Structure 1
Amino acid sequence: MVYGGKPSTGCYLCRKRKIKCDEARPSCRNCAIYGRPCPGYRPDAVFRNETRKVERLAKKDISSSSSSSAIDRQAHTPTAQSSALGEKQGPPHEESALTLHRVADATWEQRALCYFFDQFTITGEGEDGMGHLEYLPPLYARCGDSSARGEMSPSTCLRWAVDATALMTLANVAHAPSLMVKARQGYGKAIRSLREALTSPDQAAKDETFASVVLLSLYEDITGERNGLFSSHTAGFEFLMKLRGEGQLDHRRGRDMFNFAYAHTYVEILALGDKPRCDIDWVLGLLDENDPIESLMLAASKLSQLSLSMQASPSPPDQAMVESWIAAGQQCEFELSQWTLHLPGRWLPLVVYSAQGEPLLTYNRISIAVIWNYYRAVRVMLQQLLFNLNRTLLSIIQKNKRPGDPPSQAESNLDESSLRAVIQEMTTDTCRSIPFALSEVDTLGRPTNPNDNKYPMRAAQGYGLIWPLWYILSCGMPTPTQVHQIRTVLSRVGSSLGIKLALLLAGEAERMRGDANSFQTPVVGPSGRQE
């Protein structure tokens, strides 16, 4: 697939950075500020290894430009790859993969940046305003060349974090170990610079520092090198959210960074049973109940508060305590069910049918499908919690019951069949959303053309699918067909998009489910952790 859009007369690098070029000759001012030589004004494009047609075009472009570039003059030789990377010669399959991502007059770092910004930064357009890391390119451009001078600052940290994440992203999709070496070196520099910035409250509170942690957490997920399933950067998010205070929500960039960090933190609380390191409940009153994303965050936060209160209670709990937890859970369920009733019309899913007559769910945008799947995963978590609380309550009642006692009202407090029905509904709706989320069908359920850029799925959107799909695969009630469907998606995100966390979670889901032919729901204990 070739990056589409209105043709631009700007210089090559400005177009790839998606900023307005001043088109000065012989080199533009933006490139000078950016600290890179201006590559000039060429009608070339970023090539991605997605279709055979593009691969042929990329190879043709390399051949035609061979007379104007020292690197490209030797692109067909084994030493060309290693000299371009500053590394030892890589294996033949690595050379072939990297060739497909070659663009004339650009370093590998520039190619990696262009690919990363294209795949992971999405502009929040229209009324929805659902972007992803859209603040990153302009923030990165402000960093200057302080990293080249060896200075330790938030700008330096951000520059190294972005460069490392971009290199690792391209390395994964191109299967290039030599780029991975460069990425890991940059990651180490970013970590050292971050530690330096965190020693100063003023430096730690800067947007560049917070954005660096966002990038480092993303790097960790792209490499799939978490500490088990837990992120190494969750504590950093909690510390910085608290340090930055209410002021971070006063502007769009701060709010977007906060939303990323807040969601990151609560995934670990709800899905993994983690405990927060500091109190961030102060922010609940600042979330906008009329905003679909923030109202969902608010409902999920109340569920996490319930889970944390259960973890902090004495063990074993008494009947009154369990009944109070069930009442709180039912209130959470009511608020979550109301979430769908107050959405704008453009947020609602559309039921369509595939060419084979299968019902599918489509949306106005892929980003909306991602949010809906987070909603469904939270609903599944809550039903499981209520199911296990109800079992605990019945056990306590049975234990305390004496002969001749009348039936307790609590014995029929929850209908377990209704809880299972909600889990199955959420699981089914998630799977029906997958073809649209993968850009395999359009909003009317019609198969899309792989060469058509009208409905592209970027890596950022694939990244958003990972946690909801993992939880539903591990703890929902998927059928064998749905299990295969979800595993296939996680494999695709991990392999084709290069986000190795997806492969890690697929393996963990396999372990949690036990026998591949067993489809029983794991038990969630009173603490909220899976047992």
Structure 2
Amino acid sequence: MVYCGKPSRGCQMCRTRRIKCDETKPTCNQCAKSRRQCPGYKDEFDLVFRNETQATERRARKANKKALSKAGKLDGEGSEGSFALNPAVAKDVVKSPMQQAIIPALNVPVETQASCHFVSNFVLMPRQGSTRGFMDFLVPMIKSEGPESHLQHAFNACSMALINNRSASRNRFADKALNEYTQALMGTNQALRDPEQQKTDSTLAAVLLLGLFENITAKQIGMLAWGSHIEGAIQLVKQRGRKQLRTKNGLMLFVAVRTQMIIHTLTTGKAPIMGVEWWLTDAIKDQSAGDCQRIMIKTGELRAEVTRLMNSMVRSPENVEIMLNMIRRCQTVDQEAVNWMRNVPEHWHWKTVAWEDNVPNGDYSKAEVYPGRVDVYRDFYIASVWNMTRTARLILASLIVRSAAWVCAPIDFRTTPEYATASRTCMDTITDIIASVPYHLGWHLNKPHIVQRANLGQFACGEEDALKSLAGYFLTWPLSCVMGQDYTTDNQRAWTVGRLRYIGNDLGVKYAHILADLQIRIPSMMIRRDGLMASPYGAAHNFEKLTSARTTAPTPGYTMNPLQQREAMHKEQFEQSRADLLAKAAGPMTSHETQWVAQSWLTLPERSSSIPTAPHC
């Protein structure tokens, strides 16, 4: 396969006109100035894997003409002016273009293309002198495993799913991806039944890949299975114990599971198992990133505790003091996040390189940059850690406001000083996250006059100065948090939804589509949810009286006593309010997937669960 030079990323019109394209999306400015219709850009994958058949045929025809000309001259040397070919010579010389091809056309199997595409988009290698990476344990681990191993099938499933999500593939490889996923699932389940196999690195890596497959495909089965895969990985890490940290692969797998565990606990409201120190002791690859994850784990613990208290406590002087203490604890962790931002190393600092004033055509959903500043970072791993800390601050602010609303009820929580402080913090944090998005999504790659030698990171293969699916994958969580904030403006929300759509359509991370359909508003919906879950007995201090009322005989003519009737009415009201809240959070394009995500984010109980009707003892 010959090297044909660096492929042009310009639009087809500019390439045909042989002029430099500014590569502005969705349409370039060169076409707009000349009032031509811009046909758009080629798929990133097609730029790397180009079909050389036609070029080979052209070279063959050229070589054929030269051979014919040379043969004619040789045959005509004996008679002046004669260029007739000798039939014997013509028989050997005249061949079809493909027969004359010096280098035959390269036919790369789709499995190989898929593997290269996945590795070049998701396997981030550590830079020299750094330990930061993502899935960098995969390449050496797959080489050591057999071609029919459950890890290989899990890798194949992710690869085929990612290449299937490209617009040019037209969903041709969905069946192959699902077949590989099924084989990986069967092999992994079989390994989990073996006490020795379940503790191996390959089994844990396969479980992580299965979870990634769910996010890439975002099918109905995937949305319900993602959480179970992550919870399974957490249990495997727990069983493997501290000795897993002694090997390089073991440590990398542990850090990968820890990252997924943090996102899982924050989205579901479940408390992290084992506590902060168990997850961090002797397992820090990068001190700055480790300090960020410490803040995130503490945030997950606080969210789970606030939700537990909201579900169980009744109003009393003692419980009011407990909620005030929760506010102070959240403020303490938030201050840790502020200190982290102030004290990160110099090379972790971001830099503002541009300021955008306008949105093309006034359509925020299609704009590459939101009006305001544009920040760049050393690499998008650092940018993603910054955004993790920022999302922690957003969550902590919502917990503070929720707790303040519980304390001051029935007074409007928006009159509290906690709400005023949270508003300022969240609006500034939202601005910071939005300013980082263009860098994540490759805005700087076509701006060499603004950003010198900036790239997204070092990947296992492929071009470095190209947009990566991993960058979009890291962005889904911060963008969804921004989209769901009460403090986000309508224009900011429209732009954020557009970026999530772009990640789903162009980068192949379909989970972003589900997040874009959500209509969650935090903390207002959480406060409403807290009101739905509150005990109906605001003054239920006399537990004995409450218990005796529950066992009283039914009223004549009724099947339930007065207390039971009241509980039934409350349950019916709760179910109706719960359904309304869930429908509003899931948005107008209601689907099973969006309902599942909305229910997880709002930590709503299953419909079959009982409604708390008495304080916990």
TM normalised by structure 2 equals 0.62
Partners of 1:205 and 1:243 within 8 A in 2: yes
- In structure 2, the CA distance between the partners of 1:54 and 1:417, relative to structure 1 (3 Å rule), is closer
Secondary structure of residue in 2 paired with 1:441 = helix
- In structure 2, the CA distance between the partners of 1:113 and 1:258, relative to structure 1 (3 Å rule), is same
Match of 2:254?
Answer: 258
Stretch deviating more after TM superposition (242-251 or 229-238)? 229-238
CA distance in 1, matches of 2:57, 2:232: 47
- Any idea what the Cα deviations from partners look like across 1:300-338, whole Å, max 9, x if unmatched? 111212222334443236112102211211111111111
Match of 1:328?
Answer: 329
- In structure 2, the CA distance between the partners of 1:439 and 1:3, relative to structure 1 (3 Å rule), is farther
CA distance in 1, matches of 2:421, 2:331: 13
Aligned partner of 1:303 among 299, 304, 307: 299
- In structure 2, the CA distance between the partners of 1:468 and 1:358, relative to structure 1 (3 Å rule), is closer
What does 1:257-296 correspond to in 2, within 5 Å?
A: 257-275=253-271, 278-279=273-274, 281=276, 282-288=278-284, 291-296=287-292
CA distance in 1, matches of 2:253, 2:3: 26
Match of 1:432?
Answer: 435
CA distance in 1, matches of 2:349, 2:453: 25
**Is structure 2 residue 189 aligned with structure 1 residue 179?**
no
- The one-letter code of the counterpart of 1:506 is A
- The one-letter code of the counterpart of 2:396 is L
- In structure 2, the CA distance between the partners of 1:230 and 1:381, relative to structure 1 (3 Å rule), is farther
Partners of 1:522 and 1:530 within 8 A in 2: no
Match of 1:245?
Answer: 241
What does 1:117-516 correspond to in 2, within 5 Å?
A: 117-145=119-147, 147=148, 156-173=149-166, 174-225=168-219, 226-227=222-223, 231-275=227-271, 278-279=273-274, 281=276, 282-288=278-284, 291-313=287-309, 314-316=312-314, 318-354=319-355, 358-395=372-409, 414-441=417-444, 446=450, 455-475=465-485, 477-508=487-518, 511-512=519-520
Partners of 1:439 and 1:448 within 8 A in 2: no
Partners of 2:306 and 2:399 within 8 A in 1: no
Secondary structure of residue in 1 paired with 2:223 = coil
Following TM superposition, by how much is the alpha carbon of 1:418 offset from its aligned partner in structure 2, in angstroms?
Answer: 1.4
- In structure 2, the CA distance between the partners of 1:383 and 1:473, relative to structure 1 (3 Å rule), is same
Following TM superposition, by how much is the alpha carbon of 1:530 offset from its aligned partner in structure 2, in angstroms?
Answer: 6.0
Partners of 1:124 and 1:130 within 8 A in 2: yes
CA distance in 2, matches of 1:182, 1:375: 38
- The one-letter code of the counterpart of 1:505 is L
CA distance in 2, matches of 1:451, 1:50: 21
CA distance in 1, matches of 2:603, 2:3: 43
CA distance in 2, matches of 1:481, 1:386: 26
The percentage of counterpart residues that share the same residue type is 22
Secondary structure of residue in 1 paired with 2:196 = helix
Match of 2:86?
Answer: none
Stretch deviating more after TM superposition (281-290 or 489-498)? 281-290
Following TM superposition, by how much is the alpha carbon of 1:160 offset from its aligned partner in structure 2, in angstroms?
Answer: 0.5
Match of 2:19?
Answer: none
- In structure 2, the CA distance between the partners of 1:217 and 1:112, relative to structure 1 (3 Å rule), is same
Following TM superposition, by how much is the alpha carbon of 1:352 offset from its aligned partner in structure 2, in angstroms?
Answer: 2.5
| Structure 1 alignment gaps of length 5 or more | 7-48, 68-102, 148-155, 400-410, 514-518
Partners of 1:352 and 1:444 within 8 A in 2: no
CA distance in 2, matches of 1:166, 1:53: 16
CA distance in 2, matches of 1:3, 1:447: 28
Following TM superposition, by how much is the alpha carbon of 1:270 offset from its aligned partner in structure 2, in angstroms?
Answer: 1.4
Partners of 1:296 and 1:375 within 8 A in 2: yes
- In structure 2, the CA distance between the partners of 1:348 and 1:252, relative to structure 1 (3 Å rule), is farther
Partners of 2:320 and 2:407 within 8 A in 1: yes
CA distance in 2, matches of 1:289, 1:311: 32
Partners of 1:241 and 1:280 within 8 A in 2: no
- In structure 2, the CA distance between the partners of 1:273 and 1:241, relative to structure 1 (3 Å rule), is same
CA distance in 2, matches of 1:339, 1:449: 27
Stretch deviating more after TM superposition (53-62 or 298-307)? 53-62
- In structure 2, the CA distance between the partners of 1:50 and 1:213, relative to structure 1 (3 Å rule), is farther
Match of 1:85?
Answer: none
Partners of 1:120 and 1:132 within 8 A in 2: yes
- In structure 2, the CA distance between the partners of 1:201 and 1:130, relative to structure 1 (3 Å rule), is same
Following TM superposition, by how much is the alpha carbon of 1:130 offset from its aligned partner in structure 2, in angstroms?
Answer: 2.1
- In structure 2, the CA distance between the partners of 1:5 and 1:140, relative to structure 1 (3 Å rule), is farther
Following TM superposition, by how much is the alpha carbon of 1:366 offset from its aligned partner in structure 2, in angstroms?
Answer: 1.9
- In structure 2, the CA distance between the partners of 1:221 and 1:393, relative to structure 1 (3 Å rule), is same
Stretch deviating more after TM superposition (211-220 or 366-375)? 366-375
Secondary structure of residue in 1 paired with 2:387 = helix
- In structure 2, the CA distance between the partners of 1:454 and 1:179, relative to structure 1 (3 Å rule), is closer
- Any idea what the Cα deviations from partners look like across 1:145-178, whole Å, max 9, x if unmatched? 3x1xxxxxxxx11011001111111111143433
- Any idea what the Cα deviations from partners look like across 1:354-375, whole Å, max 9, x if unmatched? 3659422211112211221121
Q: Between Structure 1 and Structure 2, whose CA radius of gyration is higher? A: 2
CA distance in 1, matches of 2:288, 2:297: 14
TM normalised by structure 1 equals 0.71
- Any idea what the Cα deviations from partners look like across 1:372-415, whole Å, max 9, x if unmatched? 1121111101101101111212238x89xxxxxxxxxxx99954
